[in-house]
């Protein structure tokens, strides 16, 4: 996994249930002698009409080439205020489906900058 990859990950909820979610790989930290630490931004298709500045919205309207690289089936918002550090089990089970197209780099940088501005690292 590398930053910009889009993966499907099983996310566990406090009530004991789980749901497979699209996630955007945000950060990968490698440490000698240990598993990498992978942080992802949670994805949802529910809040696509008015994304916040610290979100990145990915839609078919981004253009055919850009959309096809994502591997997503519908418009998705990746929320940098809802980041998750994946467990070893989640990393092993994660399914790589695509990646952000280079044309989305500025939007990604802007969303990350807004998240950092709010103290969400």
So where are the chain's domains? 5-117
Fold observed for domain 5-117: SH3 type barrels. (2.30.30)
| pLDDT value of position 99 | 94
Q: Flag whether pLDDT at 9 surpasses 90.
A: yes
Closest CA to 55 of 15, 34, 26: 26
Query: pLDDT tens digits, residue range 36-81?
Result: 889 999 899 887 778 888 889 999 988 888 899 999 999 999 998 8
Range in 2-6, 82-86, 93-97 the model is least confident about:
82-86
Kindly give the pairing relationship between strand 37-44 and strand 55-58: unpaired
| pLDDT value of position 69 | 93
Query: pLDDT tens digits, residue range 94-115?
Result: 999 999 998 888 888 888 888 8
43 forms beta bridges with 78
Query: pLDDT tens digits, residue range 15-45?
Result: 888 889 999 998 888 888 887 889 999 899 8
Confirm if 8 and 94 have CB atoms less than 8 A apart.
yes
Closest CA to 56 of 37, 68, 43: 43
């Amino acid at each position: 996994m590398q930053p910009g990859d889009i993966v499907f990950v099983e996310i566990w909820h406090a009530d004991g249930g789980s749901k497979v979610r699209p996630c955007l790989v945000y950060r990968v930290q490698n440490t000698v002698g240990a598993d990498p630490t992978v942080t992802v931004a949670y994805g949802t298709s529910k809040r696509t009409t008015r994304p916040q500045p610290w979100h990145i919205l990915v839609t078919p309207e981004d253009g055919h080439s850009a959309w096809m690289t994502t591997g997503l089936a519908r418009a998705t918002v990746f929320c940098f205020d809802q980041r998750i550090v994946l467990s070893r089990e989640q990393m092993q089970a994660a399914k790589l489906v695509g990646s952000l197209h280079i044309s989305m780099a500025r939007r990604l940088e802007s969303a990350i900058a807004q998240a950092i501005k709010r103290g969400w690292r």
